[in-house]
Chain A
Amino acid sequence: AQSVTQLDSQVPVFEEAPVELRCNYSSSVSVYLFWYVQYPNQGLQLLLKYLSGSTLVKGINGFEAEFNKSQTSFHLRKPSVHISDTAEYFCAVAGGYQKVTFGTGTKLQVIP
């Protein structure tokens, strides 16, 4: 079985400050890792993904994430957040024949 843990349910941060949203996973097989973003009253959209190769992955809107196999982590970072980044962020893992597993989400609140 695989699982995803997002340690922070809410993260408040001031505009233009850096942010890190944490994600840890567990799986018995090789995995693909994803971050999705959900704006109010909308579906989820892909922010970035790790499939293989470089462990530093860059996504849309200036976000990046680093895959750390030894720590089974895939933390999401942005050096300077904007008001428009206020949303809920979901980490997800896929691997083998199991369904895609999502974390419980982290609500990022950017304070002006």
Chain B
Amino acid sequence: KAGVTQTPRYLIKTRGQQVTLSCSPISGHRSVSWYQQTPGQGLQFLFEYFSETQRNKGNFPGRFSGRQFSNSRSEMNVSTLELGDSALYLCASSLAGPGQGTGELFFGEGSRLTVL
């Protein structure tokens, strides 16, 4: 069974641009969560999607958005990039939704974004 796939793995953008990151969950998994990881702030929760609906949201500005498609694939978008958005963005999938299952997450390798 294929794992969680994130694309692209690496990308470089300049301030003010926007970026879209993609995540394909493990087949059969319906929940996708996104995390931002930086050396200073550690692992921070962005949002969680289940059945195409955002179920939980972290404390990030509105420049950060996401969506989930009917096939459970998810994308996140960051608009008007700032230097501080440079980070490793991790996607994780799980079999069940909020309040269901055990909460075990399966992570992708991440997308490393550098903002210049």
Binding site for B on A (CB under 8 A): 32, 34, 36, 41-46, 49, 51, 90, 92, 94-102, 104-105
Contact = CB atoms under 8 A, between A and B. Distances in A.
Interface string B85-99: 000001010000011
B113 to A, nearest CB: 14
A100 B43 contact: no
Q: Main SS of chain B's interface residues?
A: strand
A99 B98 contact: yes
A100 B105 contact: yes
Contacts of A100: 33, 45, 103, 105
A43 B109 contact: yes
B42 A105 contact: yes
A32 B42 contact: no
Nearest to B108: A43
B109 to A, nearest CB: 5
A32 B107 contact: no
Given A44-B107, A45-B107, A102 B102 contact: no
B102 to A, nearest CB: 5
7 contacts: A32-B104, A41-B110, A43-B107, A43-B109, A43-B110, A46-B105, A92-B103
A97 B98 contact: yes
Nearest to B47: A99
B48 interface: yes
B18 interface: no
A98 to B, nearest CB: 8
Contacts of B20: none
